[in-house]
Amino acid sequence: MTQSNETTSYRDIKETVLARIRSGEWQPDSLLPNEQDLAVEFSCTRTTVNRALRELADEGFLERRRKAGTRVLSAPQRQARFTIPMVRDEVEALGGIYRYALVSSVAERAPEWLCARLALKPDQHVMHVRCMHFNGNTPFQYEDRWIVIDSVPQVVNADFASIGPNEWLIQTVPFTNVELSFLASRADESVAAFLDLPIDEPVFTGERITWLEGQPVTFSKMYFTAGYRMTTQF
Amino acid sequence: MTQSNETTSYRDIKETVLARIRSGEWQPDSLLPNEQDLAVEFSCTRTTVNRALRELADEGFLERRRKAGTRVLSAPQRQARFTIPMVRDEVEALGGIYRYALVSSVAERAPEWLCARLALKPDQHVMHVRCMHFNGNTPFQYEDRWIVIDSVPQVVNADFASIGPNEWLIQTVPFTNVELSFLASRADESVAAFLDLPIDEPVFTGERITWLEGQPVTFSKMYFTAGYRMTTQF
DNA sequence: ATTTCCATTTTGTGTAGACTTTAAACTTTT
DNA sequence: AAAAGTTTAAAGTCTACACAAAATGGAAAT
């Protein structure tokens, strides 16, 4: 059969299923009919039903298990997706002019806390890069970053005066695994100075660890401007 | 052909494509071969290639447009997916015992700032619920919430002494639209008291606005325990 | 009563092929 | 040139069918 106006598409099925859950017709924890039966009901193939249910499961509405069937999740595990933009894009999306400035870039022995954090050997060296990201002339983010030299030997020749370490790394080393955290920290003297804040001001802070095939590549702390909020809708 | 050991699955294709992007073989902004050609290369059907590329696009690695083809995103818009668990689950995942306590629950006229925030009429009423979530006996989260009575009339009969407002709302109005923000705030006198912190301590804070079919349902502020971090891996 | 094993059900994934939709690129007209 | 129309290549989706893999529930063995 050709897909004409009256054909049920996987989108229609998704909508119908969601509507039935919302209306209470399909209660939380209850089992849905199996794919074959739904295919008959919607007069389409099982393939189409499968796609609809698979996506709803991805989106956190359903739970599916072979042989056990598909059930409505009682507490819809809705996942918030935060897009992690690069600072430049974030500033430009705010309608601002992005400006970058290098503060310092030094090769040094990895400090103890970093060795612990990244599972480095005590004598490994890192490139310590500090830099600022501005929105026009307003400080937007202060970045404190360490790059493991053994993992990215080219870093010793990188010119971080002209390109930010994040953009450089993205061009240079692909990464495979990332751990990203957000927390509230307190502006110490240096952070306060760079972001033009009072000392002890609460600062929204991100920490990112990046690995390439199990090798630690970089650790960075990002201190955001006062009043910054990370927002998403779903 | 049957799917035997040597068959290329959409997973294999995803991996291979990612590897080629990482290795630089497929540069950012460059165009991938079209699905048909890839199908030939991987000796599978276009359907299978399609699924692989579609998922990679969903995950933020590729951009696909009809007729234009598939290209590697220059700034991989990787999306961090934070699962937003209910406090109970979060505490239990930490190995703790979850305990809930109501602080107060009062019906009142919506304050001006809330009217502005939720686009309420100036005379609308809200249920103002304050409560605590504990990990054992340690304060974990202090929650300050307003529920729009016109949107959820049953709320006046809800017994928030025995069930948290979030869990009650999920049972009552399950499918909603949400705007979620995170920021760093400063513990005022009351927050500090509830979370057992010094005044002015930085506090990781979440704000959530919830709508049902365009109607504002609830606004809540969640103040997290000292040292809290929201973490994800990808 | 408990464990082990097996049949069966349900989702997971693949093949092969067709039609649809979008939008880029080209062609014609103004 | 610029605008309007046309072609066409690429992704998007569906059909129809097949075999694979997991896990449940019951049967058999201990």
Min CA distance, A208 vs chain B (Å)?
Answer: 10
Tally of domains within chain B: 2
For A:9-28, CB contacts with B below 8 A are: 18, 21-22, 28
Q: What is the DSSP string of chain B?
A: ----TTPPPHHHHHHHHHHHHHHTSS-TTPBPPPHHHHHHHTTS-HHHHHHHHHHHHHTTSEEEETTTEEEE-SS--PEEEEE---HHHHHHHTT--EEEEEEEEEEEEPPHHHHHHHT--TT-EEEEEEEEEEETTEEEEEEEEEEETTT-GGGGG--TTTS-HHHHHHHHS---EEEEEEEEEE--HHHHHHHT--TT-EEEEEEEEEEETTEEEEEEEEEEPTT-EEEEE-
pLDDT at A92: 86
Confidence of residue A3 (pLDDT cuts 50, 70, 90): very low
Q: Does A183 touch chain B (CB under 8 A)?
A: yes
Contact A204 B186 (CB under 8 A): no
**CATH number of the domain that A136 lies in?**
3.40.1410.10
Sheet of strand A98-109: strand arrangement: A98-109, A125-135, A138-148, A215-224, A202-212, A177-186, B229-233
Helices B10-23, B46-58: crossing angle, 10 deg rounding: 60
Residue in A75, A170, A233 closest to B177 by CB: A233
A166 SS3 class: helix
Pairwise CA distance, residues B80 & A178, whole Å? 9
**pLDDT at A62 > cutoff 50:** yes
Pairwise CA distance, residues B135 & B156, whole Å? 28
Is B25 domain-assigned?
yes
Residue in B75, B79, B81 closest to A89 by CB: B75
Q: Does A69 touch chain B (CB under 8 A)?
A: no
Is A145 domain-assigned?
yes
Identify the residue among B89, B183, B224 best suited for mutation to test binding to A, counting A beta carbons within 10 A and taking the highest: B183
On the 0-12 / 13-18 / 19+ scale of CB atoms within 10 A, B114 is middle
Min CA distance, A3 vs chain B (Å)?
Answer: 17
pLDDT at B7: 63
A188 SS3 class: coil
Which nucleotides on strand C sit less than 7 A from a protein beta carbon?
A: 8-24
Contact B227 A183 (CB under 8 A): yes
Domain containing residue B21: 10-72
Contact A139, A216 (CB under 8 A): no
Confidence of residue A24 (pLDDT cuts 50, 70, 90): confident
Residues A119 and A206 in one domain: yes
Residues B212 and B101 in one domain: yes
The pLDDT tens digits of the residues spanning A94-150 come to 889 999 999 999 999 999 999 999 999 999 999 999 999 999 999 999 999 999 999
Residue ranges of chain B with pLDDT lower than 70? 1-7, 75-80, 175
pLDDT at A4: 37
Average predicted confidence (pLDDT) for chain A: 90
Is A37 domain-assigned?
yes
Question: Which chain A residues contact residue B22 at CB under 8 A?
Answer: 174, 176
Is A217 domain-assigned?
yes
Min CA distance, A37 vs chain B (Å)?
Answer: 24
The pLDDT tens digits of the residues spanning B184-207 come to 999 999 999 999 999 999 999 999
The arithmetic mean of pLDDT across residues A13-29, rounded, is: 91
Is B82 domain-assigned?
no
Residues B58 and B164 in one domain: no
Question: Which chain B residues contact residue A84 at CB under 8 A?
Answer: 77-80
**pLDDT at A42 > cutoff 60:** yes
Identify the residue among A88, A183, A211 best suited for mutation to test binding to B, counting B beta carbons within 10 A and taking the highest: A183
User: Count of alpha carbons within 13 Å of B171, Cβ hemisphere only?
Assistant: 9
Q: Which residues pair with B203 in a beta bridge?
A: B185
Pairwise CA distance, residues B229 & B204, whole Å? 8
CA distances from A51 to A13, A44, A56, B51, B230 (A): 9, 12, 9, 11, 32
**CATH number of the domain that B35 lies in?**
1.10.10.10
pLDDT above 90 covers what percent of chain A? Answer: 73
pLDDT at B22: 84
A23 SS3 class: helix
